[in-house]
Structure 1
């Protein structure tokens, strides 16, 4: 497995962890449990962002600029 595939797998796992922590935060029955999940979620989101930044810097996570007309169209759809 090369470095790019390894990083993709790590990012996918981290996204899954974020999803679990988010649901734990939402479904918490007490404030202590809520705070524990929320703190873990914030840490996981930071880690996910770091992984993404490293992948983007190497060109392994290319993005493209959205056209302004498409952005405006979506905004209008949800405003009206």
Structure 2
């Protein structure tokens, strides 16, 4: 397994963990539980961001700039709601 695959697996795992902690934060029954999940969520988001930045720097995670026309179309579609 090469480094890119390992990093992709780590990033996907971090994203999954963030999702779980987010739901734990939202649905926590007490302030103590809420704070524990919230802290874990923030820590996990920092890890996810770090992994993304390392992958992006190596060219392993590329993004494309959205076309302004497409952005405007979606914006106008939801403006009337």
TM-score range, shorter chain: over 0.9
Q: Which runs of 4+ in 1 moved over 3 A?
A: none
Q: Give the TM-score taking structure 2 as reference length.
A: 0.96
Partner Cα distance (2:76, 2:42) in 1: 32
Q: Give the TM-score taking structure 1 as reference length.
A: 0.97
1:17 equivalent in alignment to 2:17: yes
Q: Secondary structure at the match of 1:61?
A: coil
Partner Cα distance (1:73, 1:27) in 2: 35
Partner Cα distance (2:17, 2:62) in 1: 23
Unmatched 5+ residue regions in structure 1?
A: none
How many aligned positions are there? 80
Unmatched 5+ residue regions in structure 2?
A: none
1:1-80 matches, within 5 Å, as 1-80=1-80
Q: CA RMSD in A?
A: 0.5
